[in-house]
Chain A
Amino acid sequence: MIPAIFDYVRPSSLSDAVAALREADEEGKVIAGGQSLLPLLRLRLAYPEVLVDVSGLPELRGVRDDGDSLLIGAMTTHYEVIRDPLIQAHAPLLAAATATVADPAVRHRGTIGGSLAHADPAGDLPAVALAMDGVFVTSAREIPARDFFTDYLTSALEPDEILLGVRLPKAYTGWGFHYEKFHRTAQAWAVVGVACLVRRTNGEVAEARVGLTNMGPTPVRAYAVETAVADGPASRQAFQAAAQDAPDGTSPPSDLHGSAEYRRHLAQVLTARALAAAAGA
């Protein structure tokens, strides 16, 4: 189908881009790679009056080493994220999850910033940003990941606020990592996904981080699981026991792909698998 009529601007400065959004008065929409937005426009599920293309803004480009963190520019494509040496060294969980997003053609165009700002709870990257305590750097402020995702397809971004990038701490460098995604067909969305980081010392689990995909209207941290595995054995048995807490505090959807009850069960099974893979158990 053909999208409804809209105006299009491609500003070359951040201030012009923010001004264009302000002028659109809540009827504007930022477009990065367009891999989530264009299907919505084609199906006429969204009707922005103005698209503000941020591909020309230098502030959104590149992956920067900021000492104790990485700043990943919002326009960095999935394809670039997977191959970036800094991300591979300090945030391999992000690269692993990104490699499961959609398919190669979509990964060539789709961007980390677009994917996060789209705030789809079935998207793979929000759970990673949450598990890694990422910080969202915008044209106006910095927003911690736990405050960024506010509801289904809704983020804390104001209508005239542009996501510049996401800051990921280097604190997880060297931790075991795994993204466990359950989907029924190639290129499908996750029915449930689990992003997991594990730090091991002397054969035990010292600490872990667990983020869940598609277990509610926003990505969810499985704090109960993190507490249950900390300072415990790195055994499959221990992981299975801890993973029983994965659905705590979640409100998974019931849809074509599975009931809420099924998703709660999946969260337990997949969390145990993700912990084991991340810990090398």
Chain B
Amino acid sequence: MPRVSVEVDGVRYDDDVEPRLLLAHHLRDRLGKVGTPIGCDTSNCGACTVLMDGLSVKSCSVLAVQADGHEITTIEGLGDGRTLHPMQRAFHEEHALQCGYCTPGMIMASLDLRRENADPSDEEIRAGLEGNLCRCTGYQNIVRAVRRAADDMRRSDQAEEAHR
């Protein structure tokens, strides 16, 4: 079995894996990173979205062997257990979830879109999240949350800059 070395949320893991093992299953079943859910079998839903070297990917559509040598960030790598990441906080405060199943993927995809666009419009947010399906909130609150988080993050970036 091929040996795979991945850094997940800042910790390096070396494992022998079957070539057919999907990254999503590697994260959940082997590394215990169950914050990343699996929602569909067709790559449509985006629930399992994580960042690979900083870019969003659907972890059900990546083999663990393809992640060899790469850095993965999951939803579990955002907060520190006590403080929420601004994107998590905005989802909480704007009630951007009901059942919460799509939320980890939504948040990771939102961070990806915010990486490229610090001040996204509603339309740009919707385009950035087109690979993520939510079947209960109806997206309005999700869009609002991403806009709020982007505003918060921009403000804190500016404050940090002024402080320097």
Residues of A that sit less than 8 Å from B by CB: 1-8, 10, 31, 34-35, 38-39, 41-43, 51, 53, 55, 79, 102-106, 108-109, 186-187
Contact = CB atoms under 8 A, between A and B. Distances in A.
Interface string B36-80: 000001111010010010011110111101100000000000000
Given A34-B61, A39-B42, A105 B22 contact: no
Nearest to A37: B61
Nearest to B18: A5
Given A53-B66, A105-B49, A187-B131, A38 B42 contact: no
Contact of B41 (A4, A43, A104): A43
Q: On chain B, which size bracket covers the interface?
A: 20 to 34
A5 B65 CA distance: 14
Contact of A109 (B42, B62, B128, B130): B62
A106 B19 contact: no
Nearest to A43: B41
Given A3-B22, A5-B18, A38-B63, 8 more contacts: A34-B61, A34-B66, A38-B43, A38-B62, A104-B56, A104-B109, A105-B131, A108-B57
Interface centre among B2, B20, B62 (most CB of A within 10 A): B20
12 contacts: A2-B20, A2-B25, A8-B19, A31-B63, A31-B66, A35-B43, A38-B62, A42-B22, A53-B66, A104-B109, A109-B58, A109-B61
A256 to B, nearest CB: 14
A33 B25 CA distance: 18
Contacts of A105: 46, 49, 56-58, 109, 112, 131
Nearest to B44: A187
A10 to B, nearest CB: 8
Nearest to A188: B44
Contacts of A79: 55
Contact of B57 (A3, A10, A109, A187): A109
A20 B159 CA distance: 55
B97 interface: no
B63 A2 contact: no
